[in-house]
Structure 1
Amino acid sequence: MAPHHLSGRPSRTTAAALTAAALFAGAAFGLAPVAEAAPARAANTASASSSSSLKFYDIPGSGGITLKGNVFTPAGAEAGDRYPLIVFPTSWGMPQIEYLAQAQKLADAGYTVVSYTSRGFWLSGGNIEVAGPPDVADVSSVIDWALAHTPSDPARIGMGGVSYGAGISLLAAGHDKRIKAVVAMSGWADLIQSIYSGRTQHLQAAAMLGAAGRITGRPSAELNQILKEFLGSDLSKEQDMIDWGRKRSPATYLDQINKNGAALMLGNAWGDSLFPPNQYADFFTKLTGPKRLELRPGDHATAEATGLLGLPNDVWSDAHRWFDHYLKGADNGIDKEQPVQLKSRTDGSYEGYPSWQAVGTATEKLALNGTQKIWANVDSGADGGIIFLSSILDQFAKLPPMASIPLLPRSFAAVWQSPAYGEDRRIRGTAKLHTTLTSTKESGTLVAYLYDVGPLGLGKLVSNAPFTFHGQTPGKPFPVDLELFSTSYDVPAGHRLALVVDTVDPLYIEHNPLGAQLTFSSPASDPSSLTVPLREK
């Protein structure tokens, strides 16, 4: 097939400049915020040779559509040469030049690298299917094309991507057994648990994705309908939405992914506004093949953003090592490292664990004694922040969302506080709330927040999570169990923890009827508590 547009040997500066332009466009839509450089923790073990070559192609996708793509080929490739193949589907709303800087590095290290604009976006054909069956079929079509038109080795095929590209890559690992290694950065394993956790619509996340899709592509009729039902809180369509999401969730195909046996590396940020880390950690735990989980400070795609510009970056350094080991057989030690790597939000240090279950094995149970009653429909001032902005400020300036705990109005916020700690508390993993709730209405929403409270009463947000209920009998108590979003955070000595629960947060759609009241109690037979996971000293 004839190359499309241009070909040549771009310099690293050119590749980085093109990628920077793509990231700038993505940042304008809130897709991939550009982050400052982070020092590389482990260098790529493969040495670079002379510059690889780049060509742009029209690649046939599934169902007869055309995907806009590009191919980096190692320098000096001759007829009969075969190199490991890596395929990169683009992120939501991003064009095919998204991965140029990293693709060139990989090609210089001896890989054939194919990137393509996911269907429905920019100049690629079709409609946006949200990682539906056509997107998964596209991956196999691209692999077929690459094996026929590039010097690729059919026995050494890898997939990778950021965000949307990560989700598509994981889904493809369950449908195409030719894929031997995957690096999925800032992706999802369970789409419903990502944007509908606690049976609560993540308003800002869904609205942003919908708007970006309309600006950069062509949403399918099915996507438009799902968004309408999702944002419109149509409970009669809830099961349709859940079924739609399950079809697009790698966790649904877990058995097949395990059977195919691809080596999977998962990376995410503690404050990911679109795909919170809990669902990735749950998925990771159930994988039976070679696996690795990396969690770092930041928001959606910020941890790997500098690497897309070709700058030193921990995530991409480990991605190269992962591909080198599982596609080239390099003895670089990544398979011998602890498979769970966590970077603290507080001091930026890395900690290794043999499993997710080994994280936060020590626990502290805070009793939530007494009875507290709050009115619904009013924002108390305790909030999870703004998507992207809040977690980026936390990542680079250590400024998470804050609230003055003494000034929170107790008519609209239930508050419990621990005593001041004599030594620091290193929170690692997933805090769990258990309480008994009585509502004056059959439906409602609550949002739980965990704060690190200093001596002056200023609380820094450690974690949060929403919970929505429907069909409850007014005036009848019922139990609530809620997992807050996983995190890694150190509470200094002299500080205390505070649990705050209110009913309104701009991040989420709330379902509190006008005039509703929520009562939190702690029956002797079933005490209310917050279980906080801690790193053992």
Structure 2
Amino acid sequence: MAPHRLFSVFSGLLLVLAVLTGTATSASAAPTTALQAVEISGAGGVALKANWIAPAAAGQHPAIVFPSSWGLNDVEYIAQAKILAGRGFVVVSYTPRGWWLSGGTIDTAGPQDMADLSKVLDWTIANTPTDPARIGAAGISYGAGISLLGSGTDKRIRAVAALSGWSDLVYSLYSGSTRHRQSSGLLQLAAQLVGKPSPELSTALADFNANKNVGQVQAWAKARSAATYLDAINANQPAVLLANGWGDSFFPPNQLTDFFGKLTTPKRLELRPGDHAIAELTGVLGLPNDAWQSLYEWFDHYLGGQPNGAETEPAVQVKPLNASAEGYASWSALSGTARRYGLGKIRLLDGTGLLGGATSTGWTKKLPADKDTLASGGVVLLTNGAAAITGEQPSVWLPFVDRTRAGVWAADRPSSAQHIRGVPKVHLELTGAAATGTVVAYLYDLDTLGTAKLITHAPVSWLDAPGTTSVDVDLFATAYDLPAGHSLTLVVDTVDPLYYDENAAGGSVTVTGGSYVDVPLQ
């Protein structure tokens, strides 16, 4: 099936399932009004398709506004709207401009979307039994980004739940100075299928794909990043809940950990296994879901005034990839003490070097610049999404990783489990590097039979930098327990389908002694 048809079928099924399960409510849910479809006049008179529902009880109630996700529409939240209305909230869901039947063109969480959000708040206060002092904003993906940004532009937003959202769109597109190919491609496909891309969006995506006008693309993305408006968000003091997946291939978690640390509002960060929007998916269908349960409790307390202890729970709550849930007072409390693993000389017998001990010198490992290997970050949405469902990380059989195309370094097998928490960092010394290039680093858990489970990875590129002698890459944040008797293993190659690489065909990258990995261990 063609990708555009597959996407359309998926979107349609999601919408149908949302409608079919929209009657799902808790046994103790209070009566609600009927769901009503409406049209709200956004900024400049643009028509925004929307729906709303409220508690049937008289009086004013706290309200939550849901902008729909990229590629979806306001039907997305019907099931959750009914559940939340039964918990005492007015719920207004709307389709942002440029999508489906809403007017205008896609603004990608830009100034027009912020103005629209304020117009939706105006309409909500004027047309529903909403208490103006108790308004929240929430959503998944695009809706999360709009909600988080909106908390810096409209002081009426007193609480936010941003599920699978972003805080830094520049990082999301260019982390490690490397363009994220598959995720941006899927976003572009959705916009073409069910949206009306603005000339600004079309230009930004065309320039991104062609790797030109990078400064202009990054300025466009920075203007759509909550990190840019951090001071305004802190000044407005909304209560902010951020929840993402460890393996989010659209919005990797590192950007959120940095942003979270700088927030001075009431706040919580939650990270779970899975890819983009996977952790919240069953909740969209009205089924029990941990991420949505956190949203309920967050809004119950910060909008509903319920003394449920939300403010006293650990500010950082994580579900490691292969361990039970944990709570920490801060991200720095989660991040362990870094242990340095030096990269050693490659052995001729098995083409593998030692990972561990002091950094060593006197060796080199040449990597062809245009040859892929089995080592991979996977396929956007699918690989880490499946891992969240099965509980098993994506894996490769390490003997099949071609040593002529990749550098492989394996550590000695510890006698006790090692608890990796935080952001592993790779430093590679290079020799004879071209002025432009890319490498991708993968950290694996290698068992005794040769199966290597992916713990985390990340790309890094250097652009127009003659004389490059070293590169540093922060791998994507992770929480993983390396079992006793397993080997922590690093693989480095130059190609991954998730990303555009900047290597010249037929070239090479040579890694040398002095390279190392810093792994945060609890």
Shared fold per TM-score greater than 0.5: yes
Determine the structure 2 residue equivalent to 1:520. 511
Residue 440 of structure 1 contacts residue 516 of structure 1 at CA under 8 Å; is this kept in 2?
no
CA distance in 1, matches of 2:202, 2:294: 37
Shift in Å at residue 264 of structure 1?
0.1
Determine the structure 2 residue equivalent to 1:446. 439
1:163 matched to 2:141: yes
Determine the structure 1 residue equivalent to 2:181. 203
Determine the structure 2 residue equivalent to 1:181. 159
Q: In structure 2, what residue type is equivalent to 1:82?
A: Q
CA distance in 1, matches of 2:197, 2:297: 36
CA distance in 1, matches of 2:332, 2:81: 35
Secondary structure in structure 2 of the residue aligned to 1:174? helix
Cα distance change on mapping 1:29 and 1:419 into 2, 3 Å: farther
Determine the structure 2 residue equivalent to 1:412. 405
Task: Within 5 Å, give how 1:147-158 maps onto structure 2.
Answer: 147-158=125-136
CA distance in 2, matches of 1:129, 1:422: 54
Shift in Å at residue 329 of structure 1?
1.4
Determine the structure 2 residue equivalent to 1:398. 391
* Alignment equivalent of 2:257, drawn from 281, 290, 294: 281
Cα distance change on mapping 1:520 and 1:367 into 2, 3 Å: same
Cα distance change on mapping 1:31 and 1:99 into 2, 3 Å: closer
1:255-310 CA-to-partner distances (Å, cap 9, x unmatched) read 11000000000000011111111111111111001000000011111111111111
Residue 434 of structure 2 contacts residue 468 of structure 2 at CA under 8 Å; is this kept in 1?
no
Question: Deviation above 3 Å: which 4+ runs of structure 1?
Answer: 23-32, 44-47
* Alignment equivalent of 2:331, drawn from 356, 366, 369: 356
1:501 matched to 2:492: yes
Determine the structure 1 residue equivalent to 2:150. 172
CA distance in 2, matches of 1:144, 1:336: 32
Q: Which shifted more, 88-97 or 391-400?
A: 391-400
1:121-165 CA-to-partner distances (Å, cap 9, x unmatched) read 110011011111101111100001111111111111100000000
Residue 29 of structure 1 contacts residue 212 of structure 1 at CA under 8 Å; is this kept in 2?
no
1:239-259 CA-to-partner distances (Å, cap 9, x unmatched) read 001100000000000011000
Residue 136 of structure 2 contacts residue 158 of structure 2 at CA under 8 Å; is this kept in 1?
yes
Cα distance change on mapping 1:30 and 1:271 into 2, 3 Å: farther
Please, what TM-score do these two structures have when normalized by structure 1?
0.88
CA distance in 1, matches of 2:127, 2:12: 34
Residue 31 of structure 1 contacts residue 92 of structure 1 at CA under 8 Å; is this kept in 2?
no
Q: Which shifted more, 365-374 or 220-229?
A: 365-374
Task: Within 5 Å, give how 1:32-51 maps onto structure 2.
Answer: 47-51=28-32
CA distance in 1, matches of 2:9, 2:255: 25
Shift in Å at residue 401 of structure 1?
2.8
Q: In structure 2, what residue type is equivalent to 1:455?
A: T
Q: Structure 1: 5+ residue runs without aligned partners? A: 1-22, 36-43
CA distance in 2, matches of 1:482, 1:201: 14
CA distance in 2, matches of 1:200, 1:31: 32
CA distance in 2, matches of 1:278, 1:289: 19
CA distance in 1, matches of 2:337, 2:13: 37
Determine the structure 2 residue equivalent to 1:529. 516
CA distance in 1, matches of 2:234, 2:320: 30
Residue 32 of structure 2 contacts residue 54 of structure 2 at CA under 8 Å; is this kept in 1?
no
CA distance in 2, matches of 1:467, 1:239: 18
Aligned sequence identity (%) = 49
Determine the structure 1 residue equivalent to 2:476. 485
Secondary structure in structure 2 of the residue aligned to 1:53? coil
Q: Which shifted more, 114-123 or 417-426?
A: 417-426
Determine the structure 1 residue equivalent to 2:288. 312
CA distance in 1, matches of 2:211, 2:333: 38
* Alignment equivalent of 2:200, drawn from 191, 205, 222: 222
Secondary structure in structure 1 of the residue aligned to 2:264? coil
Task: Within 5 Å, give how 1:23-172 maps onto structure 2.
Answer: 27-28=10-11, 47-77=28-58, 81-172=59-150
CA distance in 2, matches of 1:125, 1:377: 44
Secondary structure in structure 2 of the residue aligned to 1:366? strand
* Alignment equivalent of 1:268, drawn from 244, 247, 250: 244
Shift in Å at residue 24 of structure 1?
9.2
Q: Which shifted more, 293-302 or 368-377?
A: 368-377
Shift in Å at residue 28 of structure 1?
4.8
Q: In structure 1, what residue type is equivalent to 2:236?
A: N
Q: How many residues align?
A: 492
CA distance in 1, matches of 2:199, 2:106: 9
CA distance in 2, matches of 1:363, 1:165: 36
CA distance in 1, matches of 2:9, 2:226: 25
Please, what TM-score do these two structures have when normalized by structure 2?
0.91
Shift in Å at residue 425 of structure 1?
1.4
Determine the structure 1 residue equivalent to 2:418. 425
1:432-479 CA-to-partner distances (Å, cap 9, x unmatched) read 111212344211111110111111222111111011111222xx4522
Secondary structure in structure 2 of the residue aligned to 1:395? helix
Secondary structure in structure 1 of the residue aligned to 2:333? coil
Q: In structure 2, what residue type is equivalent to 1:241?
A: V
Determine the structure 1 residue equivalent to 2:271. 295
Cα distance change on mapping 1:417 and 1:242 into 2, 3 Å: same
Residue 163 of structure 2 contacts residue 243 of structure 2 at CA under 8 Å; is this kept in 1?
yes
Shift in Å at residue 31 of structure 1?
9.4
CA RMSD of aligned residues (A): 2.1
Shift in Å at residue 102 of structure 1?
1.1
Residue 30 of structure 1 contacts residue 388 of structure 1 at CA under 8 Å; is this kept in 2?
no
Secondary structure in structure 1 of the residue aligned to 2:35? strand
Shift in Å at residue 375 of structure 1?
1.4
Shift in Å at residue 118 of structure 1?
1.1
CA distance in 2, matches of 1:397, 1:157: 37
Q: In structure 1, what residue type is equivalent to 2:251?
A: F
Shift in Å at residue 49 of structure 1?
1.4
Residue 45 of structure 1 contacts residue 332 of structure 1 at CA under 8 Å; is this kept in 2?
no
1:40-71 CA-to-partner distances (Å, cap 9, x unmatched) read xxxx9995212332111110111210100011
Determine the structure 1 residue equivalent to 2:310. 334
Shift in Å at residue 83 of structure 1?
1.0
Residue 443 of structure 2 contacts residue 456 of structure 2 at CA under 8 Å; is this kept in 1?
yes
Secondary structure in structure 2 of the residue aligned to 1:299? coil
Cα distance change on mapping 1:171 and 1:529 into 2, 3 Å: same
Determine the structure 1 residue equivalent to 2:170. 192
Determine the structure 2 residue equivalent to 1:325. 301
* Alignment equivalent of 1:372, drawn from 365, 378, 385: 365
Residue 11 of structure 2 contacts residue 72 of structure 2 at CA under 8 Å; is this kept in 1?
no
Cα distance change on mapping 1:29 and 1:368 into 2, 3 Å: farther
Q: Which shifted more, 261-270 or 406-415?
A: 406-415
CA distance in 1, matches of 2:500, 2:83: 43
CA distance in 1, matches of 2:290, 2:250: 21
1:196-244 CA-to-partner distances (Å, cap 9, x unmatched) read 111111111011000011111111111111111111122xx01001100
CA distance in 2, matches of 1:216, 1:111: 30
